[in-house]
Amino acid sequence: MGSFNLFLQDRLIFELLYTALILFFTLSIYVKASRFYSLSSHKGFRFFGNAFLSFAVAYAIRFAIGLVEGAPYAWILSILAVLMSIAFFYTICLFGFYLVYSLVWKEQKTREYILHVAALAIAILSVLFGSEFMFVSQLAVLAYASVVSYDNYLKDRRKIQQLYFIAMVLGFAGFLANSLLPIISEVYPPFVIYVYAITVSIFLIIFYCVTGRWLKEND
Amino acid sequence: MAKRERLEVICDILRVIRDSNNRIKPTRLLYASNLSPQMFKEYIEELTAKGFVGQSESQGRKTFSLSDKGFEFLKKYREMMEFIRDFGL
């Protein structure tokens, strides 16, 4: 409980570090994928990169929401908080949709704007009726992504494919833990730290998978 | 023989140019690329538009050569293909 008390005392600093870490991992992945896209025009790179860019934007918004919520109450801030919540849910949903689309775009040629329309619809429903809409949709897409990435792993059985599959399963577990956070933290407050640890682990694994070869290449 | 992916075709064309002392005539490149004339035209137009390949003319003969971007593509090709395979893109 000692570390949890420290977390509560310095919550803002902790949130800032946590957000900075997520932004570093996700934006590094995005930069790598978009470099490859600009060189090859292979759409898979673009969809993959867009997924992580969306997550980075979502986490930047999440941090800003935390600041607005902490500010003295004013109607303009509450309107801002609602708009920011829609933007947060929208970008989080885009992350899942783009991630799955990067895996299936060759077989299922959906028009890209449909991903945005679906994400926006879920975001509005989540703000109006509760975040369950976002969680259910993202659990479904991450379960699907886990199956597809496992199938991909079975083809070549490479280490990176295995790690990516693990990251997808952790992603599913992370969204599940996030959805249960309000209930579990009632009885066990430090649970929030585990959720943060899972989230960081997911992006650390994917960051390693994406940049590992590049680091070796520059040795 | 399995159908080549788009990136494989691009890589094959660029390799042929590079391995011909970075200067090759269109007809030789067409034969070596193993594409139909129509497909070859589309790929060459794309590669030229992207700045991978440059065209020059000397003594009335047109030749193709790789630009720095074309060499960079070849250097990164293997890494890009591994990325596509590992992440199922």
Name the residue facing B86 among A40, A47, A160 (closest C-beta): A160
Report chain B residues whose CB lies below 8 A from the CB of A164: 86-88
String of b and e for B65-82 (b: at least 16 CB within 10 Å)? bbbeebeebbebbeebbe
> What average pLDDT does range A7-29 have in this prediction?
90
Q: Which tens digits make up the pLDDT trace of A163-203? A: 999 999 999 999 999 999 999 999 998 999 999 999 999 99
Q: Which tens digits make up the pLDDT trace of A141-154? A: 999 999 999 999 99
Q: Are A115 and A102 in contact (CB under 8 A)?
A: no
Give every CB contact of residue A16 below 8 A, 6+ residues apart in sequence: A63
Lowest mean pLDDT among A23-27, A106-110, B49-53: A106-110
Q: What is the dihedral of CA B37, B38, B39, B40, to 10 degrees?
A: 40
Helix intervals (H) in A71-158: 75-104, 112-129, 132-156
What pLDDT band is residue A67 in, cutting at 50, 70 and 90? confident
pLDDT at B72: 93
Distance separating alpha carbons of residues A47 and A96, to the nearest angstrom? 11
Measured in whole angstroms, the distance separating CA B14 from the mean position of its chain's CA atoms is 3
Lowest mean pLDDT among A57-61, A63-67, A116-120, A176-180: A63-67
The Cα of B84 is separated from the nearest Cα of chain A by a number of Å equal to 8
Looking at the predicted structure, is the pLDDT value of residue A89 above 80? yes
Interface test with B, best of A40, A144, A163, A208 (most B CBs within 10 A): A40
The Cα of A107 is separated from the nearest Cα of chain B by a number of Å equal to 11
Q: Are A54 and A90 in contact (CB under 8 A)?
A: no
Distance separating alpha carbons of residues A124 and A130, to the nearest angstrom? 9
The Cα of B38 is separated from the nearest Cα of chain A by a number of Å equal to 21
Beta bridge pairs of residue B61: B58
Count CB pairs under 8 A between chains A and B.
Answer: 58
pLDDT at A110: 80
Interface test with B, best of A42, A149, A217 (most B CBs within 10 A): A42
Distance separating alpha carbons of residues B10 and B20, to the nearest angstrom? 16
Name the residue facing A44 among B50, B73, B89 (closest C-beta): B89
Contact A210 B83 (CB under 8 A): yes
Q: Which tens digits make up the pLDDT trace of A101-146? A: 999 998 887 889 999 999 999 999 999 999 999 999 999 999 999 9
ipTM above 0.90, yes or no: no
Name the residue facing A161 among B69, B79, B86 (closest C-beta): B86
Lowest mean pLDDT among A44-58, A66-80, B7-21, B55-69: A66-80
B8 close to A (CB below 8 A): no
Q: What is the dihedral of CA A10, A16, A20, A21, to 10 degrees?
A: 30
